[in-house]
Amino acid sequence: MKVLVTGGAGFIGSHLVDALIDRGHQVVVVDNICTGFIDNVNPAAKFYQMSICDQELAEVFLQEKPDLVNHHAAQMIIKRSVENPLLDAQENILGSLNVIRNCIHFGVRKLIYVSSGGAIYGEPEYLPVDEEHPVNPVSEYGVSKHTVEHYLHLYGLRDGLDYVVLRYSNVYGPRQNPGGEAGVVAIFASQMLRGERPTIFGPGDKTRDYTHVFDIVEANLLSMEHGERATYNLGTGVETSDQEMFDTLAETLAYTGSPIYASVRPGEIHRIYLDSSKANKELGWKPRFTLSEGLSQAAEYYRSLTGPAFR
């Protein structure tokens, strides 16, 4: 099968590309290298450096004729979406529409779309959050990611597009870039290793559901053959606070410093963790990595990096 992966030079997308190639698939990567890295791209994949907003994307579909598209490319930083909602909407909504319309025009068999299980629901009315929970995002990022789900529903009904929506919890693991503003594990670990004091926004009681990138990749692979016009939460169902994350990483990395506590950032919810029983039932997916196992592996990855610039 030939698979086109948007965002395939990024943290999660590049691991997916590796897994697809390992399983014998042909892979085409589209990435503008805004937050991804060329070094992440598997040399066996065919690479196009372009934005999903570019009209030239149609030429890639015409030339490559992918059977399936996995759409990971996105503007994913909540703070940036709050400060520049026009850019957020352009990349996440208009860029996704460009991908979707090309899928329909060129007869792509299936589209896998990456949504957010942390941002679209807003402050939870109950926990854990399942797929039936009301959608009330409190950030522009959450709005833009969920808007695309409505377009998929429309094009599924009207044009017969088959798709799967994967709502990720907080993903962590090797290749996550600590130089950005997303990915607390990468940011905390790299700062601790440099002897710096990580910043916790709020008193440390904000919670998230942390899922290892290899488990997320497995769900994407399962979604290629299972699920029809379906939406799935992907998380561990375990709630971890910022303070717990700091303490666990500090112990893992033998860090003896203390965090800096700053004001809570706008657009961030206070508590969330996901119910992924639907993915377990319909996809046969279940996370394999415990948080302690995943953090130990991530810590080794960040230890292996040298110099002030972390990839």
Domain 2-170+212-234: CATH superfamily is NAD(P)-binding Rossmann-like Domain (3.40.50.720)
101's enclosing H/E stretch is helix 95-105
Beta-carbon contacts of 47 under 8 Å, excluding residues fewer than 6 positions away, are: 8, 9, 28, 29, 31, 38, 41
Q: Which of 235, 246, 182 shows the shortest CA–CA distance to 209?
A: 235
- Phi/psi for 7 (5° steps) reads 75, 25
Token output for 296: 């130990």
pLDDT (0 to 100) of residue 159: 98
pLDDT digit string, tens, across residues 74-100? 998 888 999 999 999 999 999 999 999
Could you tell me the two tokens for 184? 């607390």
pLDDT at 206: 96
The backbone torsions φ and ψ at residue 229, rounded to the nearest 5 degrees and listed phi first, read 50, 55
> What is the spatial distance between Cα 212 and Cα 216, in angstroms, rounded to a whole number?
7
Q: Which CATH number fits domain 172-208+238-273+289-304: 1.10.10.10, 3.30.830.10, 3.30.420.40, 3.90.25.10?
A: 3.90.25.10
Cα separation, 271 vs 205, in Å, equals: 8
Boundaries of every domain in the chain: 2-170+212-234, 172-208+238-273+289-304
So which residues are the catalytic ones? 141
* The predicted structure's pLDDT at residue 115: 98
**Strand intervals (E) in 213-302:** 230-234, 240-241, 260-262
User: Do residues 66 and 60 make contact, with C-beta atoms less than 8 angstroms apart?
Assistant: no
Q: What's the longest Cα–Cα distance across the chain?
A: 58
In this prediction, residue 135 carries a pLDDT of 97
Class of residue 190 by CB neighbours under 10 A (exposed 0-12, middle 13-18, buried 19+): buried
pLDDT of res. 310: 43
Q: Within a 10 A sphere around the Cβ of 229, how many other Cβ atoms?
A: 16
Kindly report the pTM of this predicted structure: 0.95
Amino acid at 109: R
CA dist 59 and 43 (Å) reads 21
Per-residue pLDDT of the chain (311 residues; tens, 9 = 90+): 999 999 999 999 999 999 999 999 999 999 999 999 999 999 999 999 999 999 999 999 999 999 999 999 999 888 899 999 999 999 999 999 999 999 999 999 999 999 999 999 999 999 999 999 999 999 999 999 999 999 999 999 999 999 999 999 999 999 998 876 568 999 999 999 999 999 999 999 999 999 999 999 999 999 999 999 999 999 999 999 999 999 999 999 999 999 999 999 888 899 999 999 999 999 999 999 999 999 999 999 999 885 444 44
- 81-113 b/e with 16+ CB inside 10 Å = b? bbeeeeebbebbbebbbbbbbbbeebebebbbb
Pick from 268, 304, 302: which is nearest to 178 by CA? 302
First to last CA, the chain: 30
The 10s digit of each residue's pLDDT in 160-173 is 999 999 999 999 99
Intrachain domains 2-170+212-234 and 172-208+238-273+289-304 with the same fold: no
